[in-house]
Structures are given as structure tokens and as C-alpha cells.
């Protein structure tokens, strides 16, 4: 009986020692792993977060704080036959959100639902080298007077297809299949970013809060539209 007790004692001792060794090894490994956003000594000099390459990070770390925010110059165009600046809820919402984010609003105007008027204004603004982005709101639906995409898309030198895709994914979560009635679009004209949003305040809020606030921020990772602006002319 005493021999059996002695055997059990040795087995228990061995288990305790093995567990202790595992804990020591784990602690040593954890201490050598970065636990915050920092550069490591690897060859790519990439930013790492909690020991993992930044591009594989969780959504909780979207903005790299060690970069300085760069404001851009934005023009806002509300497309509507009836709105004026004092009752243009969507245009004013967009204006406020862009300003609060730290950007410069160079111009804010209202245009009738008229192809030529919209096209002329977008062309004029996009040729101004001081303007980095133009955001329109309104006229992206399916009715006869909804002509914003028809007026602008032919001018696109490159179309940003992903904008419409992501916008519809976000919109679907809010209004389900009703999102198919929106023709929200985006592209590049004269090296200027163009974003065409629907006219509803909810759609403007979704587009800004979920897409534009990030893509118009040079600190956003893994990539954003600001860091490639200088290369649009290549």
C-alpha cells in the first residue's frame, strides 16, 4: 500500500513540475511579444499590434495614432430641386461632420436636379488644384429627376467600385433590400475624389461614419485614400 502511495506522490510531483515549466515558458514568450502598437526589428519594419502584423489586426485598432492627421479640402454639392441651405438637412449634416473631423470645407452649394448643371459644377471644382474631394448628396435614386450618377459617372477617370459595394452592405443592415434603390457611386475626376451619396440624412450619416471618415484619414490602416493622393497623377 505504501508503495502505491509513493508512486502517486511521484506522479503528482511530476505533474506540478511540468505545469510550472510550461508557465515559465509561456511567461517568457509573452514578455518578448509586443503588447501595443509598435515597430519591431523585422525586415519589413511593419507596425505590429499585440505581436501580429497590423494588416491582420482586429477592427478595434483602425487608426494609427502615431501619424499626424492631415486635413483635406472638400466641396459639398446638394442636388435638389426644392432644398435651400437653411433647410438642407443632409448637406448641413455632411458639412458638420466633415468640419468636426478636421477637414476644410472650401465650398458648399445647391444644384437643381439637372445633368448639365451638376456636370458643370463638378468639372469646375475638380479642375481646382486646391480641392481634394467633392461630396454630393441627392439625386442617386431611380426616379426621372434622379440624375446625379448619370451626370457624373461619364466623367470618371477611374471608378471606385468598392465604395458602392460597402455602402450597400452597410445600408442593407439598416433598410434591408430597399438599398437597391440607391445608385451611390464614387470615382476620380481630374485627380479629385468624387463621392455621390443619397439625399437622406440617414444615408449621409452611414456613408460618412462608416466609410468616409476613415478613408479620408491618413491614420487609418491598413490603407486609406489620403496616402495615395499624390500618386493619382502617375
Domain limits, the chain: 1-32, 33-61, 73-231
What's the pLDDT score for residue 67?
Answer: 84
Number of neighbouring beta carbons within 10 Å of residue 183? 17
What's the pLDDT score for residue 103?
Answer: 98
Per-residue pLDDT tens listing for the chain (234 residues)? 555 444 555 545 555 565 555 555 545 544 443 433 333 344 444 444 333 344 443 444 466 567 899 999 999 999 999 999 999 999 999 999 999 999 999 999 999 999 999 999 999 999 999 999 999 999 999 999 999 999 999 999 999 999 999 999 999 999 999 999 999 999 999 999 999 999 999 999 999 999 999 999 999 999 999 999 999 999
With beta carbons less than 8 A apart as the criterion, state whether 201 and 170 touch: no
What's the pLDDT score for residue 18?
Answer: 57
- C-alpha distances in angstroms, 146 versus 2, 51, 106, 182, 189? 92, 50, 25, 10, 21
What's the pLDDT score for residue 17?
Answer: 62
CATH code given to domain 73-231: 3.40.980.10
What's the pLDDT score for residue 83?
Answer: 95
Number of neighbouring beta carbons within 10 Å of residue 31? 8
What's the pLDDT score for residue 229?
Answer: 96
pTM, entire model: 0.74
With beta carbons less than 8 A apart as the criterion, state whether 134 and 102 touch: no
With beta carbons less than 8 A apart as the criterion, state whether 38 and 61 touch: no
With beta carbons less than 8 A apart as the criterion, state whether 103 and 136 touch: no
Q: Give dist(CA 184, CA 166) in Å, integer.
A: 10
What's the pLDDT score for residue 24?
Answer: 53
Amino acid at each position: 500500500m505504501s508503495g502505491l502511495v509513493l508512486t502517486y506522490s511521484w506522479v503528482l510531483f511530476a505533474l506540478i513540475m511540468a505545469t510550472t515549466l510550461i508557465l515559465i515558458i509561456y511567461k517568457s514568450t509573452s514578455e518578448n511579444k509586443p503588447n501595443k502598437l509598435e515597430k519591431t526589428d523585422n525586415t519589413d519594419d511593419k507596425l505590429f499590434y499585440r505581436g501580429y502584423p497590423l494588416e491582420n489586426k482586429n477592427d478595434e485598432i483602425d487608426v494609427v495614432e502615431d501619424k499626424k492627421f492631415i486635413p483635406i479640402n472638400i466641396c459639398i454639392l446638394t442636388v435638389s430641386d426644392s432644398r435651400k441651405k437653411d433647410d438642407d438637412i443632409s448637406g448641413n449634416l455632411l458639412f458638420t461632420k466633415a468640419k468636426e473631423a478636421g477637414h476644410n470645407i472650401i465650398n458648399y452649394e445647391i444644384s437643381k436636379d439637372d445633368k448639365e448643371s451638376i456636370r458643370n459644377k463638378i468639372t469646375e471644382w475638380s479642375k481646382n488644384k486646391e480641392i481634394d474631394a467633392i461630396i454630393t448628396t441627392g439625386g442617386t435614386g431611380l426616379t426621372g429627376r434622379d440624375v446625379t450618377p448619370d451626370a457624373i459617372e461619364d466623367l470618371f477617370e477611374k471608378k471606385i467600385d468598392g465604395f458602392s459595394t460597402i455602402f450597400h452592405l452597410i445600408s442593407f443592415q439598416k433598410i434591408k433590400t430597399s438599398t437597391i434603390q440607391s445608385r451611390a457611386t464614387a470615382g476620380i475626376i481630374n485627380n479629385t475624389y468624387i463621392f455621390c451619396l443619397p439625399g437622406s440624412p440617414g444615408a449621409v450619416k452611414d456613408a460618412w461614419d462608416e466609410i468616409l471618415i476613415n478613408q479620408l484619414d491618413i491614420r487609418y490602416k491598413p490603407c486609406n485614400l489620403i496616402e495615395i493622393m499624390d500618386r493619382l497623377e502617375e
